[in-house]
Amino acid sequence: MATTRGQALGTLLPTLLLGLTAGQPFISLMGPSQRTTPGNPVPFNCTAGPFSSWDFNVTWKKGRDEHPASAQYLVINDKGNYSITSKVWVTLARQDILLGITCEVTYTALKEPLRKTMNLSQVLQVVPTLKISTKTSRTHIRVHQRVNLTCHVSHFYPSPLRLTWMENRRKVQEVEYPQVTRNPDGTYSLEHTWQAEATLNGTEFACWVVQDEQPPVQANITLHAQAPRLGKGQSAHSYSLQGPLQRSEPGTNIQLTYMSFGFPSRHVTVTWLKKNHKLPKWQTHVHLSGDTYNVTSRVLVPLQADDVLSFVQCHVNHKSTLLFQKTISLDQYLRVSPTVTVSQSSPSLGLVAITCHVQRFYPQSVHLTWIDNCHMFKGAEKLTSKRNGDGTYTMESLHLVNVSRQESERVLTCKVQHEAQPPIQANLILSTAAHGTYKPTGSSGPEMPVLLFVAFLLGFKVLLVMSFIVTYICRRQNL
């Protein structure tokens, strides 16, 4: 299939461009229609011609380095002129923003080679990294104190994006196209500050960033005010509970960190529990700072696919008094990638229902695209996801395909983008051999021979019965 499409492309482009250039040599360069994240290969096609002979050469360069071509297609028109279409696959990297891909065609009759360059920044998508920091002038955060939270959005491309601040999972501010700064590597970065109020029970803040039509990226922080005094001779202290900035897959470990300041003695214990069972891999350090003690405790939490509804508890005791208890939902740190399959129904009236099944994924946001022989289109209905009992989601997309007039093999692809991960896709091949027997109602199809055969059998049985009856009557008369 790839050779057929490449030859068709190589035939169409020279014919079209030859008419526009009145026979003068031309060169064109085309890349992918959508941006791609670093680490993924993307195709580029270069077409040049017409030439009176095949004494020409095509060279690809990424930046200043030569890059081997993947395939080349030579086309000869009715006038005996030659045209060439060359294809190259390039694996993108973040530093490619400042580079270009160049197609150069040398021909003996030309003084200068034909050359075309496309900036790789046109096809590159770099997902940002996020972090939230706090700056306070006091050692302890008081109740109702205003604290500046800064969201650091680093190394992304292109620059347009939308930033949203969330407080306890509710939107409090949204900024379209915030001011950015250009980095030396060509990517962008920005910092945005939101002033929050500290509370005794703690408030969870999140910074969300949406870039183009990509899944959102977020960073979380929990802000605590200092606790009230516990008694005579004891001082108040403040808390901070932090998790990872990015989601992780099942089978990996994440680290949660609890930090507290201002304990009057070192008799502090921190206990971590998951599903009411103690976690084994944790470390707690108590160290003197002035007249009080600071506590830092870290724990490794193993993630599983069914942890969307799970939680971790952090218990802090000073001597025999429980000072702090916090429940952390693991769904904010978990990413369950979907499984994608494509199925088809039996044909009816020349139509086949193709269904893409996207199963057991989290979080809910996914982007689904249908591709029919490299042509992108939308499904037949609006996509809605369903919540499973384990907290994950399932989604289906239906597409009706008319196979009654199909003349060649078709490849239907369901492509699913989840979070900032590489796309997952499943394919289904509709061949003429599989669907050539599907005919609309009323047409003369392969059902006719079957009906004739059945009618013949029934007629033969009727003839036998009549023969038996005639023979019986004749014998009775002879008697």
Q: What is the rounded distance in angstroms from the CA atom of residue 152 to the CA atom of residue 134?
A: 11
Q: pLDDT at position 28, please?
A: 94
**Per-residue CA distances from 166 to 67, 142, 151, 222, 309 (Å):** 46, 21, 12, 12, 21
pLDDT band at 479 (very low <50, low <70, confident <90, very high): low
Q: Which of 3-7, 193-197, 264-268, 415-419 bottoms out in mean pLDDT, i.e. has the lowest?
A: 3-7
pLDDT over 60 at 91, yes or no: yes
**79 pLDDT tier (thresholds 50, 70, 90):** confident
Residue 276 has pLDDT above 50, yes or no: yes
Residue 300: per-residue pLDDT? 93
Among left, alpha and beta (phi > 0; psi -120 to 50; other), residue 475 is alpha
Q: Which pLDDT belongs to residue 10?
A: 41
Q: How far apart are CA 26 and CA 462, in angstroms?
A: 78
The type of residue at 150 is T
Q: Higher-confidence residue: 436 or 196?
A: 196
Q: Give residue 196's pLDDT.
A: 85
Domains, the chain? 2-122 (2.60.40.10), 129-332 (2.60.40.10), 339-435 (2.60.40.10)
Q: What is the mean pLDDT of residues 106-124?
A: 91
pLDDT-derived band of residue 290, with 50, 70 and 90 as boundaries?
Answer: confident
Average pLDDT of every residue of the chain: 81
Provide the pLDDT for residue 99.
94
Q: Are strands 65-67 and 56-62 parallel, antiparallel or unpaired?
A: antiparallel
pLDDT digits (tens, 9 = 90+) for 407-434: 677 888 999 998 888 899 999 888 655 4
Q: Which of 299-308, 346-355, 389-398 has the lowest mean pLDDT?
A: 346-355
Tell me the Ramachandran region of residue 290: left when phi exceeds 0, alpha when psi lies from -120 to 50, beta otherwise. left
pLDDT (average), residues 25-43: 91
Kindly tell me if the per-residue pLDDT of 367 is higher than 70.
yes
What is the pTM for the complete model shown? 0.46
Higher pLDDT: 350 or 40? It is 40
* Under 8 Å between Cβ of 10 and 85: yes
Task: Check the CA dihedral 172-177-180-183 and report its sign.
Answer: positive
Alpha-carbon gap, residue 159 to 48, rounded angstroms = 34
Q: Token digits for 180?
A: 């950015």
| CA 39-41-42 angle, 5° bins | 130
Residue 404: predicted pLDDT:
75
Output 460 or 338, whichever has higher pLDDT.
338
Cis amide leading into 50 (omega within 30): yes
Residues in the chain: 479
Instruction: Say which range, 105-119, 147-161, 259-273, 460-474, has the weakest mean pLDDT.
Output: 460-474
pLDDT beyond 90 at 351: no
Quick one: average pLDDT of 85-107?
Answer: 93
Joined tokens for residue 333: 């740190």
Q: How confident is the model at residue 446 (pLDDT cuts 50, 70, 90)?
A: very low
The answer on pLDDT for 20 being more than 80 is: no
Q: What is the model's pLDDT at position 456?
A: 58
